[in-house]
Amino acid sequence: MKFIDEYRDERTAQLYSRALSRIVTRPWTIMEVCGGQTHSIVKFGIDELLPSAVTLVHGPGCPVCVTPLELIEKAIELASMQNVIFCSFGDMLRVPGESKDLLSVKAAGGDVRILYSPLDALKIATENPEREVVFFAVGFETTAPANAMAVYQAKRQGIRNFSILVSHVLVPPAMEAILSFPDTKVQGFLAAGHVCAVMGYVEYEPIADKYKVPIVVTGFEPLDILQGIYMCVRQLEEGRAKVENQYSRSVRKEGNLPARKIISEIFRVVPRKWRGVGEIPQSGLGLQEAYAEFDAELRFGVAGRTIDEPAECISGLILQGLKKPHECSAFGTRCTPEHPLGATMVSSEGACAAYYHYRRRNN
């Protein structure tokens, strides 16, 4: 297979659907970890091709969705400072904080800039030596190498007016947390292919062993996902719980070694709060001591405080695979992409936004 259309071939999809029907003998619940996979599943109707015994639930793999409100508030506080140029990927600008978002800070005159690479923030810092440039370093293991490289280059080039607000999270501890919840329904995982392209999948093997769940490293196109589901169901039916790699065209077991090296040079593993889930031990990245001077929280002393989610938003239950978006009473009425109450409606990878765009009429 060489071209994208081949990964979307309807006849092959039907073959997978029939093959699944032949092997399923009882109900199974599988979680796709990544918001990109959720988006594909809902957009292409993959869940509607599955035998009724196979249920997909949507996991926490949307970095915008799991960034805690406290960090959004810190970003807003930094972006509102006179001397700060606040840089971010575009999808963070509309995530609602307690009373406003980064976009409204920009509208009120704050210098908030949308970038596609953290290295562009370094360039802005070099061009504006009298200002402080802060980059909002959000994401899973996928964005960590580029953010790490920006900090590495800042130190190497002596760029002192650059710092990052770190909100990095790690996938394996979140999967383990979900499996540890007493009411979890998850019996197998589709792991995120792009995360494993960076990190490899060795660290998933102890999770599969300990919790007796199959984990299939899976890509993002419809046929990738159908094949991943087929591999996962086949393991479940055979009573196996191993890590398998559906996305072998992109993922090696050891991952991308140079990318892993730069991550461990710049970051260390820390506890991190996940929006809707709570604090998960050893589930995030923070800057190493040697790079602490680039930590925006330390540089500006932005205070930590606890902020509650809007009461009617059930995004936490959705991110844990316990509810679906249309089970939220605010879905599509009080909560829409134009007026989101929770982050899972803001992000293009969020489950609520995916259901809003592709399933609203059905519901």
Residues at the interface with ligand SF4 (CB under 6 A): 312-315, 318, 325, 328, 330-331, 335, 341-342, 344-345, 352
Helices (H) and strands (E) in the chain, counts: 16, 11
From the CB of 323, what's the least distance to ligand SF4, in Å? Answer: 8
When the beta carbons of 174 and 345 are compared against ligand SF4, the nearer one is 345
Q: How far is the CB of 41 from ligand SF4 (least distance, A)?
A: 17
Cβ 144 vs Cβ 263: under 8 Å = yes
Minimal CB distance to ligand SF4: which residue? 342
Which residues fall within 8 angstroms of residue 119, CB to CB, at 6 or more apart?
Answer: 146, 149, 150, 153
- How many Cβ atoms from other residues are within 10 Å of residue 202's Cβ? 12
Q: Are 175 and 182 in contact (CB under 8 A)?
A: no
Q: Which is nearer to ligand SF4, 128 or 336 (CB)?
A: 336
Q: Which two tokens stand for residue 9?
A: 């071939």
Q: What is the smallest separation between the CB atom of 262 and ligand SF4, expressed in angstroms? A: 34
Q: In what order do the strands lie in the sheet with 162-169?
A: 112-114, 84-88, 132-139, 162-169, 278-287, 267-274
- Of 143 and 315, nearer to ligand SF4 (C-beta) is 315
Closest CA to 189 of 149, 145, 235: 235
- DSSP 8-state secondary structure symbol assigned to residue 317: H
- Cβ proximity to ligand SF4: between 91 and 297 the closer is 91
Min dist CB 91 to ligand SF4, Å, is 14
Length of the chain as a residue count? 363
What is the nearest approach in angstroms of ligand SF4 to the Cβ of residue 276?
9
Cβ of residue 315: shortest distance to ligand SF4, in angstroms? 4
- Spell out the residues 6+ positions from residue 214 whose beta carbon is closer than 8 angstroms to its own: 188, 189, 208, 231, 232, 235, 236, 240, 241, 242, 243, 244
8 or 323: CB nearest ligand SF4: 323
Task: Give the C-alpha separation, 249 to 139, whole Å.
Answer: 23
Q: Which is nearer to ligand SF4, 63 or 325 (CB)?
A: 325
Q: Which of 360, 361, 343 is nearest to 64 (CA)?
A: 343
Minimum CB separation of residue 351 from ligand SF4 in Å reads: 7
The letter for the amino acid at 216 is: V
Nearest to 274 by CA among 193, 346, 167: 167
Closer Cβ to ligand SF4, 292 or 307, answer by number: 307
- Provide the minimum distance between the beta carbon of 309 and ligand SF4 in the complex, in angstroms, as a whole number: 8
Measured from the CB atom, the residue of 58 and 168 that comes closer to ligand SF4 is 58
